[in-house]
Structures are given as structure tokens and as C-alpha cells.
Amino acid sequence: MNHGITMTNPVIETLLSRSAAKYYDPEATLSDDQIRQLVEIGTSAPTSFHLQNWRFIAVRSREAKARLSPIAWSQPPIMEASVTFIICGQLADASVIPARLAPLVEMGVMPASMVQEWETPARDLYQNFPQRQRDEAVRTGTFGAAAIIYAARSMNLGSTPMIGFDADAVHREFNLAPNEVPVMLLSIGAERSGNWAQKPRRPVKEVLDFM
């Protein structure tokens, strides 16, 4: 696919070559370390006020896949891919900010006096606004999932983000906490033949406005 982009490097090539995979090698597996590496990269994504309000459930055993599949429309990647992450965003809660910022204070990156300067506006932004709390959970989970998607591509792995699932059933079956929102499912694994290249996108002139 010709994107009209002349400046290329491995990162850009990874971004432009990604496509949602449909077909996976069901015999391929990912090690614990590979799964941890994907999640570590996912957690490098941005979060508001450094909340890091996410959790990643790696569904990879045959038993766990069998529990997830029927409440996710029996989509083939869940059973065939090496792992399917349940991407959980957590409702934005300013009270966690001191703990989240403590490592920065200990490293000397941030003065301790600045912590309150972050916590107070975050409390004002979220505390009495449930929709904002949920919006932030979804944003955070999506950022983390996107980082995993591109990391997987850089490792020559396929990925399939999915929103087709019963959120309430996932909540019950996988014991999500009351403050957790199942943002999406994300299958990762070795691809087999038959997957499409990245589909054409709308022209930039249709989606970009200069002001």
C-alpha cells in the first residue's frame, strides 16, 4: 500500500504495515517473558496524571479461552491466537496519585511538593464526574492496547482488537473489580496465511483541517 510517506524508519514501517489479523497458527505459543514484555511496553503508553489506571488479563490456557470464547461471540482468534488480553481500564481516582508519583520523587525527578499540585486538579476533574472517570478508563486502556498492538507487529506477531463481547459476563467470569471497565479484547499470536495487508485509509485531505 502506498501511503505517500517518503520518510521511513523501522517504527514508521511497523505502524504502516499493521493490520488486524484473522488467521492465527493455533499451535504457536508465547512464553511468559514474551507476554510480560508486551505488557511492559503497553504500560509505557501515556496516562492522565500518571494514573496508570489499567490492568491486563492474559487469557492463554485452553480452559480460560473456553470460558472467554462463548461470551465473546465465539470469535476464532480467542481460541486460535496464543493469548487474548482482556484490557481493563480503571475508573480515574486521584487518591492513587501520591503512590503513582512516589517513584519519581524517590528518583529526584519530581519534588515532593509537586505531588499535591497534580493530585488536587485531578480530584477536581474526576471526583464528582462518573462519566469522566469512565472516559479516562477507556482512554487509558486504549492507549495501552495500541502500544501492545504495535509492539506485537514489531515482533512479527499478529493482533486482533475486539469489542464484540458481553462486558457484564466478562466482568463476572474473570472477577474484574468494581472500578474496572473491560475496554476491549486483544488477541496476539503468530499469523498463518490468508490475512490481509493493511486496508486503504481515507485520504488525509478528508480528515485533516489546518487552522
For 164-181, write each residue's pLDDT tens digit.
Answer: 999 999 999 999 999 999
Percent of the chain with pLDDT over 70: 97
| CATH code linked to domain 26-191 | 3.40.109.10
- pLDDT class for 3, splitting at 50, 70, 90? low
End-to-end alpha carbon distance in the chain: 29
C-alpha 168/C-alpha 148 separation (Å) is: 24
pLDDT at 4: 65
| Residue 62 confidence (pLDDT) above 90 | yes
pLDDT band at 8 (very low <50, low <70, confident <90, very high): confident
Share of residues in the chain with pLDDT > 90 (%): 95
- Give the per-residue pLDDT at 7: 61
Amino acid, single-letter form, for residue 11: V
Dist. CA 185–CA 56, nearest whole Å: 10
pLDDT band for position 196 (cuts 50, 70, 90): very high
Total-model pTM = 0.95
Residue 73 CB-density burial (10 A; 0-12 exposed, 13-18 middle, 19+ buried): exposed
Half-sphere exposure of 157 (CA within 13 A, CB side): 24
At residue 72, the pLDDT reads 98
On the question of pLDDT at 57 being above 90, the answer is yes
Beta-sheet strands, E only, within the chain: 54-59, 83-90, 158-162, 180-189
- pLDDT digit string, tens, across residues 96-130: 999 999 999 999 999 999 999 999 999 999 999 99
Answer for the pair 152, 58: CB distance below 8 angstroms, yes or no.
Answer: no
φ and ψ of 46, to 5 deg: -70, 145
Band the pLDDT of 2: cuts 50, 70, 90: low
Task: Establish how many alpha carbons lie within 13 A of residue 35's alpha carbon, considering only the half-sphere containing its beta carbon.
Answer: 19
Mean pLDDT of 8-37: 95
Q: Calculate the alpha carbon distances from 152 to 23, 82, 144, 190 in Å.
A: 15, 12, 12, 10
| CA–CA separation, 159 and 187 (whole Å) | 5
